[in-house]
Amino acid sequence: MRITLPFRKLARASLLGALAAGCGSGGGSDSSATSPACSVVQLEAQMDATLSQAVSEVDFSFAVQRQDGRRYSFNRGSSTLQRSYQSASTSKLVSAVIILRLVEQGHLSLAARPQDQIADWPIGGGDSLFAMNLAQLLSFTSGLTVEPPCLNDPGSDLASCVLSIASTNAGNGKVPGSEFLYASTHMHVAGLMAVRARGDGVVSWQEVFAEFQSQSGLFPNSTFDLPSVANPRIAGGMHFTGDDYMAFLKALRDGLLLNPASMGELLADRTASPVTIVYSPIFAGIGGGPGLGEDWHYGFGLWHECQSATFDCVPGTRVSSPGALGSYPFWDRSKGYTGIVVREGVFGTTPAGITIERSVRSVTEMWAAC
């Protein structure tokens, strides 16, 4: 039985009422259009007009890229796709991919448990949490429920904070794999497991990330440094640019980062019944901000979107990793395009970026197919 959270509505920006002009007869002179019945240029002009009026308390940038490589971008105010933004939870997808690559390389397995990699792991065999594994940590079903203050302490470090997470949650009686609870604890533990498993002189998440940058050529202008370099939140501690994240999404979509088996693991629905969703910020909000009242599911570091109060969608059709400051990277797998809204609002404004994107989604889908 899944827990039903109190429904909270979010006022959404209105969608365009008339889209016919973007797919009218005038488009034959647009060499990028695949059909004389539509015009990419007109559709992009419609997105410009809508985004310029979108509701946002801070400046933002928006970008989408089609399967054929064509890209549309929009900047409002001082925002650009080259500006550095705090990631919040947009880093979750990045971290999940990095860790899955270590699994591919044989450093880790999804069945690995924290005590297999962390010699001083304080949770013993008599505790139900002793059974948690890497797959459950990446899907936030590990049984960890309490976030200790060290997650936001720049004076702490990754290893000592992970031990604090374990000690704080020990004895809570949770059975790993039975409940989904969105929190930063899970990935912090997974991150230290990755560091320890990587070995060969690698002693920090910074080095793990640097190796990924070197191997992939991605995120040249981004770093994990929040709340500090010594204690980066694996689940939300990046500074990144929109351009960097767009390149990452394209590489992921094109199969350049994960093999088919790992991609299948990344995209699997990890919160289907009988898993109980105890807390979802998409449904209920975060930090006092509003939620969408929608029952999204979760994979490894990504959400399976569903615009419904009860999940009735095909998992993997549209996946995303929105953050609490309003940035929103997404991959529409059914329509074949990727995109992002980048902005840095106050904590708890997760729905803002989603609402901005939804204001142009109908036009974007037409653009992607044009």
- pLDDT tens across 1-54, in order? 333 333 233 333 333 333 333 343 233 333 344 445 799 999 999 999 999 999
Amino acid letter, residue 213: Q
Cis bond leading into 176, ω under 30°?
no
Q: 15-29, 49-63, 135-149, 269-283: lowest mean pLDDT where?
A: 15-29
Query: What is the H or E stretch that residue 91 is in?
Result: helix 91-104
Over the stretch 225-254, which tens digit does the pLDDT of each residue have? 999 999 999 999 999 999 999 999 999 999
Distance CA(184)–CA(206), nearest Å, equals: 18
SS3 labels along 268-280 = CCCCCCCCEEEEC
* Closest CA relative to residue 90, chosen from 277, 268, 324, 279: 324
Mean pLDDT, residues 288-317: 97
Task: Give the span between the Cα atoms of 194 and 314, in whole angstroms.
Answer: 31
Label residue 284 by pLDDT band (50, 70, 90). very high
Q: For the residues 314-334, what does the mean pLDDT come to?
A: 97
Lowest mean pLDDT among 3-7, 33-37, 203-207, 299-303: 3-7
DSSP string over 105-122? TTS--TT--HHHH-TT--
Phi/psi for 287 (5° steps) reads: 60, 30
Strands 276-279 and 179-181: parallel
- How far is it, in rounded angstroms, from Cα 54 to Cα 359? 7
The answer to whether the peptide bond before residue 290 is cis (omega within 30 degrees of 0) is no
Which CATH number applies to 1-10+85-339?
Answer: 3.40.710.10
Starting at the edge strand that comes first in sequence, how are the strands of the sheet with 337-342 ordered?
A: 71-75, 61-65, 337-342, 328-332, 318-320, 303-304, 297-298
Token digits of residue 226: 């929040």
The encoded tokens of residue 173 equal: 């009686």
Identify the sign of the CA torsion 57, 87, 8, 76: positive
Collect contacts of 153-158 with beta carbons under 8 A, ≥24 apart: 153/227, 153/231, 154/227, 154/228, 154/230, 154/231, 155/228, 155/231, 156/228, 156/230, 156/231, 157/230, 157/231, 158/188, 158/191, 158/192, 158/195, 158/204, 158/205, 158/230, 158/231, 158/232, 158/234
CA distance 212 to 207: 9
